[in-house]
């Protein structure tokens, strides 16, 4: 029933530590790279403390990775420091 579904959703939101984030202040950054390395790069970025709290999410693209962040300048500095 509807009550049980909503209760399950509330439990899942709490367990997942889910929160809604407005996209009004979000900026995008694109990291251009070889498509074959995108999954590995995303895994490393996701599991590296250096990138902690630097982006909201990242999405694979056809020729790179799109980052959604609240501070594009800071993320660009970090990414550029790794490309040189």
Q: What residue has token string 């990242």? A: 58
pLDDT for residue 22? 87
**Ranges under pLDDT 50 in the chain:** none
Per cent of the chain over pLDDT 70 is 100
Predicted local distance difference test score (pLDDT) of residue 35: 97
| Cβ–Cβ < 8 Å for 70, 26 | yes
Say what the pLDDT of residue 52 is. 93
> What was the pLDDT predicted at 50?
94
- pLDDT value, residue 80: 96
End-to-end CA distance of the chain: 57
The pLDDT value recorded for residue 83 is 87
């Amino acid at each position: 029933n509807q009550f049980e579904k909503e209760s399950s959703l509330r439990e899942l939101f709490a367990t997942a530590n889910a929160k809604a984030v407005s996209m009004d202040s979000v900026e995008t950054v694109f990291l251009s790279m070889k498509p074959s390395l995108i999954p590995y790069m995303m895994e490393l970025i996701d599991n590296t403390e250096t990138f902690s709290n630097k982006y909201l999410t990242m999405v694979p693209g056809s020729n790179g990775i799109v980052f959604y962040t609240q501070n594009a300048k800071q993320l660009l500095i970090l990414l550029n420091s790794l490309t040189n």
